[in-house]
Amino acid sequence: MSYLSPSSRIRPRRRNMSKEILSVAVFVPLEGHEQQALATVRELSAVLAEGGYSRDLLYRGGPENEYVLVRYWKSDEARRAALEDPEAQRRWARLAHEVRILKVHESLQEIEL
């Protein structure tokens, strides 16, 4: 029986949809900056986690062997506060010289299935 076949018994289910805000950034390190860029991403992720702003996941793949950073902001207020955090600002400024951003989704909305 197929996972999505009409004959399968699918019961509607309600669950609490996340209050977190999902952001996604796709980037490639500038030539000669890959290790430093990854170190900066790790530092930034640690600063944001320690501040209680967000949690991050980092993936790699795609045609240019790009990196995909998935960030779950705790809330819109946490995201605004992080933008004012001097330690986070320092890491974002450094990253601007280490990576080329290919695509950013500032806020993705979860759709109930």
Mean pLDDT of 15-23: 75
Angle, to 10 degrees, between the axis of helix 86-95 and the axis of helix 76-84?
80
Dig out the tokens for 72 from the structure.
Answer: 């779950």
Segment among 11-20, 46-55, 100-109 with least mean pLDDT: 11-20
Say what the pTM is: 0.81
Give residue-wise pLDDT tens across range 76-103: 999 999 999 999 999 999 999 999 999 9
Q: Which domains are seen in the chain, by residue range? A: 24-106 (3.30.70.100)
60: phi then psi, degrees, rounded to nearest 5 = -140, 140
